[in-house]
Structure formats: C-alpha cells, structure tokens
C-alpha cells in the first residue's frame, strides 16, 4: 500500500516536493544474518535444490549476453536447465562488457601484500561511499577468487610473469595489487571466455540463442514473470517467448546522456519495461563519470572513448592559469602559467584522486573558462594530460611499452601525437550504479524476474571502484544467480501457459501498438535529435553536479521533450524489416521516461555521495558531504503509472562491520 506525505515546499497536495509519493519501506528478506563470512554459505545451503532430472523441464529466459548474461546462460545450460538467450547484437560476443579495459579485481592475495576477502569487501563498501549492502559486497569479494580460477580454466589469457604465474597490478587508488588483467583488453578476454562457454551449450542443445532480437516487454502472469515479448530485428516479427523465470542482464543506461562510453545500442528498454510492470528501480541517479576520456570534437560526435585511468599514474593534469592562454599551443605556455590543479588542491593524492573528484574538478576549471581544445557550445571542454615529464623521466620507449596502445588510440581519434603535444581529456558518462532493485537472491520486486550485472543496482553503492564491474558481472553470472534462481525454480514448473492467455496477449498487443504508433507519427524531427537534446539536458543538470534548481528545470524540459517526441518524431521504414530508426525510437522513448526518474531521484537525495554531487551539500572547501542520518538508504522507486507520480520505497542500509566515515583525499 502507498502512503503519501507532504512537506511545506510541496506545490501539489499529496506529493513530496510535488514530484513523488512516499510508500512503505522495503527490506531485503533473503539476506541471511549472522557472521558475514558465513552468510553466502548459509544461503546456498538453505536454497532449495532441483533434481537434475527435473532441470530440463524448467525454462529460463536470459536477456543480454555480456559477462552477467553470458556467464549465467552458460552455467544454467551446463546445469541442465532449458535456457533461451537473447541479444540485440548480431552475436553474443559483441556485448559491451567487451570494451572494459583495465582489469578484474579478486582477493587472491597472490602478492602477499595484505589483501584478503575482508579487505576487498571493506574497500568496496568504502569506495561505494557507504551506500551499498554489506552482505552483497562481502559475497562479491568472496566469490571473486572463484572467478579467476574459472576464467583461467576456460583459457582466458591473463597477463603472466616469467615464472608462468599470473600477474597483478594495483588499480583505482587501492593500496594492494589485486587486479588481474589482459593488457588493455580484459573485458574482451573475459567476455570471449563466457561467449565460448555459451556457444558450447548452444551446441549441446541446452541453450537456444536468439541473436538480433530485442526484448520489448516482460510478460507477468498472476504476479510472476513468465516470459518476454521480443522483436526479431531482421524480420520485424514480434515474438512471444514464455518460461518459468526471466533474467535481465541487459547492462546499464548511460546512454540516457546520449554521449557516453557505452556502445551505440546500449539501452534501458529491458529494465524500463520491467519497471513499468512492477519492478522497482534502485538509485537511478547514481552515475559514474570517468575522468579520462577523449573530449567531444564537434556536434557530429556519436560516442565517447575512454582511455584507461592508468594514464593518471604517469601523466600530469593541468590547465592554463589564465583563460587568455587557452588557445595557445600548450608547449608554449611556461611552467609558471600552468595550474596543475589536482596536485594543488589534493597534495597527497594529486593526479590519483578517485574518479568522481577528478571529474568534478575538470568540470570546475572548464566552467571557469580555463578549458582547452575546440569550443563546443560556449565552453572549451578539455584539460591537458601531459606526459612531458614522464617522457623525460622514463624515455619514450618506456612510455610506449606501458601506454603505447592507449596513446596510439588517442592519436588515431584526434590526429594529434601525444608524444609531442599534451593530450586533452574530459570526463564522460561511463557506468551506472543504479538499476533494478533486487534482493540478496538478485530477484526483483516481481517474483521470477531476476536481474544481474550492471542492470541491477546492487554492490557498488554510489560509486564503483575500478576493475569491479567485471568482477560483479561474472560473480552474478557464474556463481550467484545459478544458486539463487534454483530456490525459485524448485517451486516450478509453473502452470502451463500459452500465448492466448490474457496477460500474454495484452503484453503482445501493447508492443504491436507501440511499434505502430512510432511508425505513424511521421513528424519533423529525427530520433537522434531528440536523443541529443535529452542527453544535453541530462548532462547539464543531472551530470557531475546537481542542484535543486537545475533538476527542477530538467524535469520540466524532459516532460516537454517527451511530449514533443510522441507528437513529432519521424521514423521512416516499415515494421516488418530491419529498421534501425525504429529500434532507436523505442529506446529513446524509454530514456525519456527514465531521465525524469533520474532527476527526481537526484532531487530527493539532498546529500552528496559517490557519483552524486549535490551543490547544496558540500563542505566548506567544496568537497562532497554525505548525510548518513537522513540518507543511508537505497531509494527503490515504484512506477506510478503513465500519469501518476513515482512512489519511493526506502530500504535502510545497516552497517554492522564497516564504520561510516567521510572520505578525504586532501
């Protein structure tokens, strides 16, 4: 049941801040209690088993084939379940996990440098700015070691030392070396491992693969997720797929910003359609903005490219002290006229401050008019990442050995030689910590609907540490979901369903109607133009710094834009063929709804934490200020209907093991 309350500043009766209602608190009822290092074992033991002979009678749909989805499909196939796997790309091997560069964390302690499961757990809770669940994070750290074993057995070619053992590096400012890597292509190698395991199951007949298929609706029957409606992107056919359980492993929603480091096709549609059917959305405003990306070059830009933040180990970040120097050749700006602002503001961490801080300071100096590179709009959006000192100290060969592939990539994209001219970088949207709310079993608020990897909200809190996304995706896919979903499947097989069931037919009819609607508007504006405008609004008002005033403005702008979209979008072509404009239109329509919820979430969270910086909540010297007394909870949002307001359910975060502290990097 939903209750509402009012505050003095709410212009609409019954709604908080005029924007949302507050519902009953929720709780994660699946997490065991007791000593933290025994909770996962307890849950695995208590979860019901499914007799091997019964598994083939149970069917699971998995949407997405990245690390979380590919690993889950392979593992459930191996266990003998009947799996259907879906991806919108032409092959499961293309999923965007492939683009992760840096590495994957695991508490192997191979360096004997004091690492442990407990330390990885502690670092991850702290890195998430105390906005994640202790039980989940401990489990993640615990299974991290199994992931490395599994991947090595599959033939993932991790970097090795001369003795033949695995190499590790330190990453993301932590003080131990626990990151396993395969040059700058760790995500690719891990994904190919999962992909090969998945294709092996396709050959074995346990997994049926649906490439170039996009999920457009979830089928909920008697309160349980029982299937999906998907469009065959080649023929345009709308298909109904039914099963005993559904897993969404469809990735993050960074493309709501239009420009991000996500793939062109990355989208929120699978999770957003589920949200509209009753799945709560957790912490949608938590977005990670990565500091070392190649800046926007012009209006034509379609996506942004990240360069590993390892560059900050040897590069020095600066802008001119005087705005008048911003157009000069940087090599002609003398030392005394340069502002190495991170080294100045954070003398002890310097260029190695965490991602959120490095990003925000870059924005600040550019807002002051001291950015460099081409003007995009009214400002130059770039800062120098300078290897001149490193080249003097280490020689060009040594720099090339360590960073060659990144510097080459920079040169290919910008046409500038980073061995001669300082590189230009700027922050870009990279990862979304928010996602569908799930319990300890990774089950959403719709029974039978499970959510894994970046698509769920769990584990990273308000900020994700480097090399932890790959860890979470594979932990969920290989080692967590296959145990927790069996507890649910053990109650099945559920009632036989066919496509004529009222709820199934209704879901399908809604997809047909939406496709027809998008094709019939025939307005004046392209889908991309709406997407770009939405991205600009989100970046300006819900990006690196958020304020009450800006967010209210953004909400109004998004509502207006969404209204125009449904009146004036122009989608050419037909429904019964490959139609990329139609695909994009459906995704942008959902981003236009998600964007508003992100702004509402950001507006209600009147504190700064992790990737969420509220201008009104900072310390005297401009650092993020959390308010643990008011906001140590997960914001789980319930869809309030097409014309209704979203409903906030709070899940209190309880810290039994880690002491809450304000982060300081001065």
Partner 1 sequence: MNLTLKIWRQAGPTTKGEMVTYPVTEISEDMSFLEMLDVLNEQLNARGEEPIAFDSDCREGICGMCGLMISGKAHGPEVTTTCQLHMRSFSDGDEITVEPWRADAFPVIKDLVVDRSSFDRIIQAGGFISANTGSAPEAHSVPVPKDKADRAFMAAACIGCGACVAACPNASGMLFMGAKITHLGELPQGQPERDARVVNMVSQHDHEGFGGCTNIGECSSACPKEIPLDVINQLNKDLRGALMRGE
Closest CA to 295 of 186, 372, 390: 372
Looking at 86, 171, 195, 613, which residue binds partner 1 (CB under 8 A)?
195
Pairing of strands 383-386, 435-436: unpaired
Least Å distance between CB 86 and partner 1? 14
Least Å distance between CB 182 and partner 1? 6
CB-based burial of residue 4 (10 Å sphere; 0-12 exposed, 13-18 middle, 19+ buried)? middle
At 429, is the secondary structure helix, strand, or coil?
strand
The span of 12-20, 181-189, 349-357, 497-505 binding partner 1 (CB under 8 A) equals 181-189
Least Å distance between CB 193 and partner 1? 9
Which residues from 236-275 bind partner 1, rule CB under 8 A? Answer: 261, 263-265
Looking at 581, 625, 627, 657, which residue binds partner 1 (CB under 8 A)?
581
Q: Is 49 in the site for partner 1 (CB under 8 A)?
A: no
Least Å distance between CB 144 and partner 1? 12
> Which two structure tokens, joined as six digits, stand for 156?
């993932």
CB-based burial of residue 597 (10 Å sphere; 0-12 exposed, 13-18 middle, 19+ buried)? buried
Least Å distance between CB 187 and partner 1? 8
- Which residue, chain included where needed, has tokens 């490959």? 578
SS (H, E, C) 109-164: CCCCCCCCHHHHHHHHHHHCCCCCCHHHHHHHHHHHHHHHHHHHHHCCCCCECCCC
DSSP tag of 287: E
Looking at 44, 57, 169, 200, which residue binds partner 1 (CB under 8 A)?
200
| CA–CA dist 554, 540 (Å, integer) | 9
Query: Binding string, 490-529, against partner 1, x = CB under 8 A?
Result: ------------------------------------x-xx
> Which two structure tokens, joined as six digits, stand for 377?
């709009």
587 phi and psi angles, rounded to 5 deg:
-70, -45
Residues 648/609, Cβ–Cβ less than 8 Å:
no
Residues 122/140, Cβ–Cβ less than 8 Å:
no
Pairing of strands 423-432, 383-386: antiparallel
Residues 642/566, Cβ–Cβ less than 8 Å:
no
Least Å distance between CB 446 and partner 1? 26
- Which residue, chain included where needed, has tokens 């961490």? 349
Looking at 376, 421, 561, 578, which residue binds partner 1 (CB under 8 A)?
578
| CA–CA dist 282, 443 (Å, integer) | 13
| CA–CA dist 133, 458 (Å, integer) | 7
DSSP tag of 160: B
Please count the CA atoms within 13 angstroms of the CA of 489 that sit on its side-chain side.
30
**Comparison of 159 and 421: residue with beta carbon closer to partner 1:** 159
Looking at 196, 364, 536, 618, which residue binds partner 1 (CB under 8 A)?
196
Residues 140/38, Cβ–Cβ less than 8 Å:
no
DSSP tag of 297: -
Residues 182/308, Cβ–Cβ less than 8 Å:
no
**Comparison of 152 and 394: residue with beta carbon closer to partner 1:** 152
The span of 238-246, 440-448, 486-494, 565-573 binding partner 1 (CB under 8 A) equals 565-573
Looking at 305, 364, 547, 618, which residue binds partner 1 (CB under 8 A)?
305
Query: Binding string, 524-563, against partner 1, x = CB under 8 A?
Result: --x-xx----------------------------------
Which residues from 441-500 bind partner 1, rule CB under 8 A? Answer: 478-479, 482
**Comparison of 100 and 634: residue with beta carbon closer to partner 1:** 100
Least Å distance between CB 40 and partner 1? 14
370 is catalytic: no
| CA–CA dist 157, 171 (Å, integer) | 19
Looking at 78, 208, 337, 512, which residue binds partner 1 (CB under 8 A)?
78
Least Å distance between CB 476 and partner 1? 12
Q: Which alpha helices (H) appear in 6-128, and where do they start and end?
A: 39-46, 52-55, 67-79, 117-127
Catalytic residue among 39, 133, 355, 424: 355
Looking at 67, 209, 507, 555, which residue binds partner 1 (CB under 8 A)?
209
The span of 293-301, 503-511, 536-544, 617-625 binding partner 1 (CB under 8 A) equals 293-301
Query: Binding string, 351-390, against partner 1, x = CB under 8 A?
Result: ----------------------------------------
**Comparison of 337 and 528: residue with beta carbon closer to partner 1:** 528
Least Å distance between CB 204 and partner 1? 9
The span of 189-197, 250-258, 435-443, 629-637 binding partner 1 (CB under 8 A) equals 189-197
Q: How many residues lie near partner 1 (CB under 8 A)?
A: 82
Which residues from 110-169 bind partner 1, rule CB under 8 A? Answer: 110, 146, 148-155, 157-166
Q: Is 570 in the site for partner 1 (CB under 8 A)?
A: yes
Q: Is 203 in the site for partner 1 (CB under 8 A)?
A: yes
Sequential DSSP letters for 44-74: HHHSPP--HHHHTT-EEEEE--SHHHHHHHH
Pairing of strands 338-339, 375-376: unpaired
| CA–CA dist 177, 184 (Å, integer) | 16
Give the contacts of 132 (CB within 8 A, at least 6 positions apart): 124, 125, 458, 459, 460, 461, 462, 653
Least Å distance between CB 77 and partner 1? 10
The span of 247-255, 297-305, 602-610, 642-650 binding partner 1 (CB under 8 A) equals 297-305
> Which two structure tokens, joined as six digits, stand for 153?
């057995």
Looking at 43, 84, 96, 430, which residue binds partner 1 (CB under 8 A)?
96
Would you name the residues annotated as active-site residues? 355
């Amino acid at each position: 049941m939903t209750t509402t309350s009012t505050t003095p500043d709410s212009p609409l009766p019954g709604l908080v801040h005029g924007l949302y209602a507050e519902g009953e608190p929720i709780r994660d009822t699946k997490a065991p209690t007791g000593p933290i290092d025994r909770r996962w074992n307890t849950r695995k033991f208590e979860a019901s088993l499914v007799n091997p002979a019964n598994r083939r009678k149970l069917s699971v749909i998995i949407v997405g084939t990245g690390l979380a989805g590919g690993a889950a499909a392979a593992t459930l196939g191996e266990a003998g379940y009947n799996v259907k796997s879906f991806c919108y790309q032409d092959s499961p091997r293309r999923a965007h996990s492939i683009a992760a560069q840096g590495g994957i964390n695991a508490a192997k302690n191979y360096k004997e440098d004091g690492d442990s499961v407990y330390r990885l757990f502690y670092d991850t809770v702290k890195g998430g700015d105390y906005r994640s669940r202790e039980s989940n994070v401990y489990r993640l750290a615990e299974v991290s070691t199994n992931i490395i074993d599994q991947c090595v057995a599959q033939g993932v070619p991790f970097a090795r030392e001369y003795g033949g053992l695995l190499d590790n590096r330190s990453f993301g400012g932590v003080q131990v070396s626990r990151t396993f890597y395969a040059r700058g292509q760790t995500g690719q190698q891990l994904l190919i491992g999962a992909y090969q395991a998945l294709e092996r199951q396709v050959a074995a007949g346990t997994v049926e693969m649906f490439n170039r298929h996009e999920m457009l609706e979830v089928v909920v029957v008697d309160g349980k997720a029982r299937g999906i409606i998907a469009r065959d992107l080649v023929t345009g056919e709308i298909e109904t797929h039914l099963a005993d359980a559904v897993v969404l492993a469809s990735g993050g929603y960074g493309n709501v910003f239009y420009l991000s480091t996500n793939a062109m096709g990355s989208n929120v549609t699978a999770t957003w359609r589920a949200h509209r059917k009753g799945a709560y959305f957790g912490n949608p405003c938590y977005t990670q903005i990565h500091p070392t990306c190649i800046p926007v070059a012009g209006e034509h830009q379609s996506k942004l490219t990240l360069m590993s933040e390892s560059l900050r180990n040897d590069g020095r970040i600066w802008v001119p002290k005087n705005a008048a120097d911003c157009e000069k050749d940087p090599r002609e700006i003398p030392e005394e006229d340069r502002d190495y602002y991170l080294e100045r503001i954070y003398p002890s961490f310097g260029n190695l401050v965490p991602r959120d801080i490095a990003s925000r300071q870059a924005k600040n100096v550019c807002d002051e008019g001291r950015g460099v590179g081409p003007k995009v709009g009214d400002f130059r959006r770039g800062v120098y990442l300078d290897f001149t000192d490193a080249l003097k100290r280490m020689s060009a060969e040594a720099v090339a050995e360590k960073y060659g592939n990144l510097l080459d990539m920079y040169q290919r994209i910008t046409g500038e030689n980073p061995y001669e001219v300082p590189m230009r970088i700027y922050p870009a949207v990279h990862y979304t910590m928010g996602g569908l709310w799930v319990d300890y079993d990774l089950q959403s608020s719709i029974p039978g609907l499970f959510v894994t990897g970046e698509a769920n909200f769990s584990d990273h809190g308000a900020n994700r540490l480097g090399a932890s996304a790959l860890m979470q995706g594979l932990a969920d896919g290989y080692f967590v979901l296959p145990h927790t979903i069996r507890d649910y499947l053990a109650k099945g097989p559920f009632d036989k369903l066919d496509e004529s069931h009222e709820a199934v037919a209704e879901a399908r009819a809604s997809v047909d109607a939406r496709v027809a609607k998008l094709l019939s508007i025939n307005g004046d504006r392209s889908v991309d133009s709406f997407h770009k405008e939405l991205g600009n609004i989100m970046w300006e008002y819900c990006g690196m710094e958020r304020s009450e005033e800006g967010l209210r403005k953004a909400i109004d702008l998004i509502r207006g834009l969404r209204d125009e979209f449904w009146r004036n979008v122009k989608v050419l072509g037909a429904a019964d063929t490959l139609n990329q404009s139609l695909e994009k239109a459906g995704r942008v329509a959902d981003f236009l709804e998600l964007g508003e919820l992100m702004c509402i979430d950001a507006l209600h969270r009147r504190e700064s934490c992790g990737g969420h910086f509220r201008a009104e909540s900072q310390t005297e010297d401009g650092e993020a200020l959390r308010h643990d007394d008011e906001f140590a909870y997960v914001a789980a949002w319930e869809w309030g209907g097409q014309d209704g307001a979203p409903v906030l359910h709070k899940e209190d975060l309880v810290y039994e093991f880690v002491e809450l502290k304000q982060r300081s990097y001065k």
